[in-house]
Structure 1
Amino acid sequence: MRRRILVLVGATVLLVLVAFAVPLATLIRSVAESSAVSAATVQAQVLTPAVAGGDRSVLVPAVQNADGRDASDVSVFLPDGTVLGAPAPRSPVVRLGLLGTSASTEAAGGRELVFAVTGAAGGNAAIRVFVPDAELTRGVTRSWLLLGGLSLVLLAGGLLLADRLARTLVDATTDLSGVSERLAAGDLSARADPGAPAELGVVASALNGLAGRISELLREERENVADLAHRVRTPLTALQLDAEALRDPDESARLSAGVDGVRRAVTGAIEQARRRGGTTRSADAAAVVRERVEFWRVLAEDTDRSVTLHLADGPLPVACAPGDLEACVDALLGNVFAHTPDGTAFDVELSARAGGGARIVVHDDGPGLPPGTDPTSRGVSGGGSTGLGLDIARRTADQGGGALTVLSPAGGGLRVELELGPPAG
Structure 2
Amino acid sequence: MRRRITLLVAATTSIVLLAFLLPAASLVARVAEARALDAAQAQLQFLTPSVGLDDPEQVAASLIGTSNDLRTGVRLADGTWLGDPQQPDIEVPASAEEIRSDAGILLLQPVRREGDTALIEVFVPSEVLRAGVTRTWLVLGGLGLVLLLLALLVADRLARSLTRPVTELANTAHRLGAGDLSARVQPAGPREVREVGTAVNQLARRIGELLAAEREGAADLAHRLRTPLTALRLDVEGLPPGDRDRLMDDVDALSRGIDEVINEARRPVREGVGAECDATAVVVERAEFWTALAADEGRNLQIEWQATPLPVRVPAADLTAAVDALLGNVFAHTPEGTGMLVDVRARDGGGASIAVSDEGPGMPEDAVERGRSGGGSTGLGLDIARRTAESSGGSMRIDTSPRGTTVTLDLGPPA
What is the TM-score with the length of structure 2 in the denominator? 0.77
Displacement of 1:108 in angstroms is 5.2
Q: Confirm or deny: 8 A CA contact 1:368 1:412 kept in the other structure.
A: no
Q: Confirm or deny: 8 A CA contact 2:253 2:377 kept in the other structure.
A: no
Q: Confirm or deny: 8 A CA contact 1:363 1:415 kept in the other structure.
A: yes
Mapped to 1, the partners of 2:219 and 2:394 lie a distance apart of: 30
Mapped to 2, the partners of 1:251 and 1:229 lie a distance apart of: 24
One-letter identity of the residue aligned with 1:135 = V
Alignment of 1:132 with 2:122, yes or no, is: no
Alignment of 1:52 with 2:46, yes or no, is: no
Mapped to 1, the partners of 2:25 and 2:255 lie a distance apart of: 90
Match of 2:73 in 1: 75
Displacement of 1:141 in angstroms is 0.4
Mapped to 1, the partners of 2:320 and 2:102 lie a distance apart of: 100
The 3-state SS of whatever aligns with 1:195 is: coil
Match of 1:105 in 2: 99
Cα distance change of structure 1 residues 287 and 243 upon mapping to structure 2, 3 Å threshold: farther
Mapped to 1, the partners of 2:294 and 2:246 lie a distance apart of: 17
Aligned length in residues = 395
2:407 to 399, 410, 416: 416
The 3-state SS of whatever aligns with 1:328 is: helix
Displacement of 1:195 in angstroms is 0.9
Cα distance change of structure 1 residues 421 and 107 upon mapping to structure 2, 3 Å threshold: closer
Displacement of 1:353 in angstroms is 4.9
Alignment of 1:160-171 (within 5 A): 160-171=153-164
Displacement of 1:327 in angstroms is 6.0
1:366 to 361, 380, 401: 361
The 3-state SS of whatever aligns with 1:112 is: strand
Displacement of 1:325 in angstroms is 5.6
Mapped to 1, the partners of 2:187 and 2:408 lie a distance apart of: 47
One-letter identity of the residue aligned with 2:333 = V
Cα distance change of structure 1 residues 22 and 33 upon mapping to structure 2, 3 Å threshold: same
Mapped to 2, the partners of 1:207 and 1:35 lie a distance apart of: 68
Q: Confirm or deny: 8 A CA contact 1:336 1:364 kept in the other structure.
A: no
The 3-state SS of whatever aligns with 1:366 is: coil
**1:275-331, Cα deviation, whole Å (9 max, x unpaired):** 532779979403542356578x4xxxxxxxx95432579xx9992279946861466
Match of 1:277 in 2: 269
Mapped to 1, the partners of 2:356 and 2:327 lie a distance apart of: 13
Mapped to 2, the partners of 1:421 and 1:294 lie a distance apart of: 33
**1:33-70, Cα deviation, whole Å (9 max, x unpaired):** 0100011101111222222233444332112211xx23
Alignment of 1:208-247 (within 5 A): 208-242=201-235
Match of 2:110 in 1: 116
Q: Which moved more, 1:54-63 or 1:130-139?
A: 54-63
Match of 1:290 in 2: 291
Cα distance change of structure 1 residues 411 and 103 upon mapping to structure 2, 3 Å threshold: farther
Displacement of 1:223 in angstroms is 1.5
Alignment of 1:13 with 2:9, yes or no, is: no
Alignment of 1:12-411 (within 5 A): 12-66=12-66, 69-92=67-90, 94-96=91-93, 99=94, 101-107=95-101, 109-118=103-112, 120=113, 122-197=115-190, 199-242=192-235, 255=248, 266=258, 270=262, 273-277=265-269, 284-290=285-291, 293=294, 297=297, 307-311=299-303, 319-320=316-317, 324=321, 328-329=325-326, 332-333=329-330, 336=333, 346-351=338-343, 353=345, 359=354, 361-366=356-361, 368-370=363-365, 373=366, 375-379=367-371, 387-397=379-389, 405-408=396-399
Q: Which runs of 5+ in 2 are unaligned?
A: none
Displacement of 1:122 in angstroms is 4.8
**1:220-243, Cα deviation, whole Å (9 max, x unpaired):** 111211111111121133235446
Mapped to 2, the partners of 1:29 and 1:70 lie a distance apart of: 21
**1:82-104, Cα deviation, whole Å (9 max, x unpaired):** 22222443354x521xx3x0011
